[in-house]
Amino acid sequence: MRRFRTDVRDAWSWEPYCVGLDRIDHRERVLVFTSFFEQIEPLRRHLTGALAGLRSLSTAAILRLLWVEHLALAPALQERVDGFRRAHFGGATLGVHVRDSDRRTRVAAIEATTARLVGRHPHLRIFLASDNAEVLRRYAARFGDVIATEKWYPPPGESMHEHAARPDPTAGAADALVDMHLLAACDRLNRRQPIVVRAPRGPARSSRGATGDRPPPGPFRAAGAAPLAAALRQLHQAPVARQGALTVDAPAALRVQGV
């Protein structure tokens, strides 16, 4: 879509081009829906019949079921996660995610919080997931004990996922999945990041530094980053079902099976 609509950059600007979730009885054979965030709450009213048992579950619990039953890692990717953990996760690990390219998180605030956490717990090793090689170099110079997976980086400040020189988009997607599961496996997470919230039918807003699972008071709701993080953390505390797993075929083509 971005080939035709260069203005589609904001997290909510996709909505006019997607099917609404207020009803699911569409007659069309093909429906298009995309979102930067989970959309469990708009779908909760449709959890009836065989799915009625899900209505009383928390968003995090529902997301965990989806991950375990339909989006488990392929054996090749799971082995990358397990191998990295065996090699590098010997002690307490602090997971830090810093997106600093086309969409920038609060880079300075995240680093400041990391410094406070490491100051209070000097034994922490930092696992850093970032799309900016300069961020990795800066963290390594400042904190010393910093680990990260090997992957391709664009020039600092440029988009990783849409860069013209990106060698293999499919491999990049696999790298992102591995990083996400490694973050979930960390003992602690630096979650000093803005939670995007919005009023129903209103514009996107930011809670400016909210760090917990609770949405801000009033008519706004949290956009799902915290429930997803909680679901991923739970995912690493229980066996992962392999049925309907995300699989990788040579030459590393991704597809979802059994969904």
Instruction: Answer whether residue 240 is part of any domain.
Output: yes
Q: How many domains does the chain have?
A: 1
Q: 210-257, pLDDT tens digit by residue? A: 333 333 332 223 334 455 555 555 545 443 332 223 222 222 222 222
Q: Is the pLDDT of residue 74 over 80?
A: yes
Mean pLDDT of the chain: 74
pTM exceeding the 0.85 threshold for the entire prediction: no
Instruction: Answer whether residue 235 is part of any domain.
Output: yes
Q: Which domain holds residue 78?
A: 69-193+224-256
Cβ neighbour number for residue 96 with a 10 Å cutoff = 28
- For residue 147, the domain's CATH number is 3.40.50.11350
pLDDT of residue 180: 92
Q: 80-123, pLDDT tens digit by residue? A: 999 999 999 988 999 999 988 866 678 899 999 999 999 999 99
